Amino acid sequence: MIRLALALLLAASAALTPLAVAQATPAVPALSPVTTADEDAAPVRIVLETLSPAIPGERSTLRIRGRVVNASDTVIEDISVQLRRSSLPLPTRADIDTAADAATEAEGREPTDVPLPGTVIEVTDRLPAGEFASFSMRVPVSSLGFTEPGAYAFALEAKGREPGVDEFEVRQGMLRTFLPWFPRGAAVEPVSLAWLWPLAGWPAQSVSGVLLDNQTPEELQPDGRLGELVTIGQRHQATVSWIADPSLLQTIQGMAQGYRVVQDRTIVVGTEDAAAATWLEQVARATRVTGVQTLPYADVDASSLTQAGMSTDVVRAVTQGPRVASTALGDQTDGQVYWAPFGRMDQPALDVLASAGVTTVVLSGDAMPATDGQAVLDGQAIAALPTDAGAIRAVLTDPGLTRLLAAPPRTASEVITTRQRFLAETASVALTLQEAGAPDRTLVAAPPTPRWTAASTLLTPLLRATRSAPWLQPVTLSELLTEPTPTTSRRRGGYGEKARADELTRRYVAAIARANEDLSTFTSIIDNPTGVTEPFSEALLRASSSAWRSQPATGTELLESIQVDLDAQTAKVRVLSEGAVTLSGDSGKVPVTIANDLDRSVTVGVVLQGRPSLRLDSRPIEGVQIEAGKMASVDLSARVVGGDPLAVDVQLLGPDGEEYGSPAEITVSSTAYARAAAWVVALAFVAIVVFVIVGIVRRIHKARMASSRTAAGT
């Protein structure tokens, strides 16, 4: 009761003379000695539901609403909540890190924290284990005692006691956040803030346009990932900078005209064509304000492909991206950007991208740290990247802001603390740069990957707050890219074993390479491959997407479906011949029939391959043209060695002599060896007959001679 009376007295004095209280609090230590409970145990969790306004003004009233939750296994009594703040603004981002994780004040400053008189409220006399109690308070900002502009550490402290354990009230829990304070007229040079707003997905679409799963249709819903991204971006279209994957736009454009999707291992007609049309129309309207930068088609994994010697695939993705995006949106795009997976890039891939025409790469600021002795670097968002094709620009995202946007907050309390942390970090950068006398600088806020989940509960109020914050001014990516590149000396961060291990696996990329070779062979025999090559090559680029780093099983499923479709198309040009062929001599003609079930003419070669090859002598025939849906027959000259039947493969060939498709199997034998064998048998029979006759004659002759000698002796 004594503590309650003291709290009421202080609250009354704060209400009567808020300015006096505000001026006195920075130098006031804790109101009374308070024993601090082990914060790691956190018997009580404080959950925020409202903290408004995010950026308070001098005449504002701070509104706070939340709950205290008993996370322990015992009753806690006399629970109260009190506000605390740091005595001075936190000068650096390192101090903000420290304050978020531990104390409410940067290390080395006194006093370490300041409890705010008049902000103690009784929440409940008794809170059983596992239960919660709500609280709310309204505090005039003028009574908080802010003195200097900047970002203050701000905390809600829960006190209470465990019956039979605590004699006095102790700290039972603490929720730490931040509160920026920039009164009207505060001298601060605003920092430019660019928001990168990527639209990308997991391009699981087969050669024939069938979606392999329902992920994209679900994400197009108003509460889906892509639906929320566009809705939020539309509301702040003058602030955000759109970056889109052309393959996503192409897929959704196709969906708007009707689509098929795999559900429960069955291909069915999709039902979200109207949602697709609406989404694409929203994107087209929103991007007319600030334009849209495009990623290479399907956001291919440039490092993985270049490492495997498939740089031509990277070039193809870069060159066809703007055309596909312009077709989908009905307008020209503003430029092309490559978003490095996880913010890092190896030099060979950079060289390929630059040679293909990419002029901008999005990297993490950690990937290009400054060399020793450089000035403050926060806010240097552009850097030069040397390549074999000349220098290109790196847009450096702010690592701290990226971490805050990496995962969507799960609760209202996380939304509030993330929002306030974002505002505090940008405010700290603005003041740090101003004190250092740095020229105009820019921060780039971006997610860690183009495939991100934007929580409207966080981003809508955060975007609104960043537009009204006096220390920030919005800038678009297009505007940023017109600025001169700073001459600050930087070094490239490493691209080591971990970065290489995060790439698409070598086995997977090798399978893509084999499919590309099969596609090249297939299209090489088609007299006019227009309209045949594109669906397969685009599907293989989709299989090469960096998206499959996070969903390798779906990537494998996509690649396997492409190979099945390619094998099926390849098999439409095939050899029909089968069975046995008998040559009238040791050489002759082998008739071969070839079928073309494609919808266009082809030109092939054909060759006979003996098993073993030493027993067959045959030359291939080239330039056999077969019209669409027709068959053609040719005769191949062949000479067979040996009398036994010979297994022969009838193999189709491409224009450069490469094998095409699977061979047909026939058996070839020669009658020449059969006739020779008959003569041998006949001669052997005659020889035997002669031998027998000679033997008989000799025996008769011997018998006669013996008889003559007997008669003479008699």
> In the prediction, which pLDDT does 32 show?
29
Q: Which of 182, 200, 148, 176 is nearest to 26 (CA)?
A: 148
Q: Please report, for the chain, the start and end positions of each structural domain, with discontinuous segments joined by +.
A: 2-181, 191-486, 506-570, 573-670, 676-714
Six token digits for residue 51: 């903290």
3-class secondary-structure state, position 152: strand
Asked if 267 and 261 touch (Cβ cutoff 8 Å), the reply is yes
- The C-alpha torsion from 425 through 427 and 432 to 438, rounded to 10°, is 110
| Beta strands at 621-626 and 392-397: parallel, antiparallel or unpaired | unpaired
Question: Which strand (E) or helix (H) includes residue 248?
Answer: helix 246-256
Q: Which of 400, 399, 366, 394 is nearest to 381 (CA)?
A: 394
Distance between CA atoms of residues 638 and 588, nearest Å:
6
Angle (CA) 119 125 128, round 5°: 120
Six token digits for residue 495: 């691209």
Distance between CA atoms of residues 216 and 251, nearest Å:
9
Distance between CA atoms of residues 116 and 29, nearest Å:
10
Residues 6+ apart with CB under 8 A from 392: 350, 353, 354, 358, 359, 360, 361, 384, 385
**Ramachandran angles phi, psi of 205, nearest 5°:** -130, 130
3-class secondary-structure state, position 516: helix
Percentages helix, strand, coil for the chain (3-state, rounded to 5) are 40, 30, 35
Query: Token match 């600050």: residue?
Result: 488
> In the prediction, which pLDDT does 186 show?
84
Beta strands in 367-496, from DSSP E residues, in sequence order? 382-385, 392-397, 442-445, 472-474
Per the omega criterion (within 30 degrees of 0), is the bond before 399 cis?
no
667: which strand partners? 580, 647
Query: Could you please report the per-residue DSSP string of 205-224?
Result: B-TTS-BSSSHHHHHTSTTS
| Beta strands at 602-611 and 646-653: parallel, antiparallel or unpaired | antiparallel
> In the prediction, which pLDDT does 427 show?
95
Question: Which strand (E) or helix (H) includes residue 499?
Answer: helix 497-501
Distance between CA atoms of residues 567 and 556, nearest Å:
16
Distance between CA atoms of residues 101 and 97, nearest Å:
6
697 burial level (CB within 10 Å; 0-12, 13-18, 19+): exposed
CATH class of 2-181: mainly beta
Q: What is the 3-state secondary structure (H, E, C) of 623-663?
A: EEEECCCCEEEEEEEEEECCCCCEEEEEEEECCCCCEEEEE
Q: What type of residue sits at position 198?
A: P
CA 493 to chain centre: 21
Six token digits for residue 119: 């902000």
What is the CATH topology of the domain spanning 191-486? 7-stranded beta/alpha barrel (3.20.110)
631: which strand partners? 595
- The C-alpha torsion from 90 through 92 and 94 to 96, rounded to 10°, is 30
Strand order in the sheet with 621-626: 579-583, 659-670, 646-653, 602-611, 621-626
Record the pTM.
0.84
Query: Token match 């669409």: residue?
Result: 628
Q: How far apart, in Å, do the first and last CA atoms of the chain sit? A: 170
267: which strand partners? 262
Q: Which of 88, 91, 58 is nearest to 434 (CA)?
A: 91
Distance between CA atoms of residues 133 and 660, nearest Å:
75
59: which strand partners? none
Distance between CA atoms of residues 43 and 154, nearest Å:
20
**pLDDT less than 50: residues of the chain:** 1-40, 105-111, 373-376, 674, 676-679, 681
Domain 573-670 CATH assignment equals 2.60.40.1710: yes
3-class secondary-structure state, position 150: strand
Asked if 239 and 465 touch (Cβ cutoff 8 Å), the reply is no
Distances (CA, A) of 55 to 183, 196, 402, 578: 10, 23, 21, 82
Six token digits for residue 417: 């603390």
3-class secondary-structure state, position 665: strand
Asked if 395 and 361 touch (Cβ cutoff 8 Å), the reply is yes
> In the prediction, which pLDDT does 676 show?
47
> In the prediction, which pLDDT does 184 show?
87
3-class secondary-structure state, position 202: coil
In this chain, the answer to whether the domains covering 2-181 and 191-486 adopt an identical fold is no
3-class secondary-structure state, position 395: strand
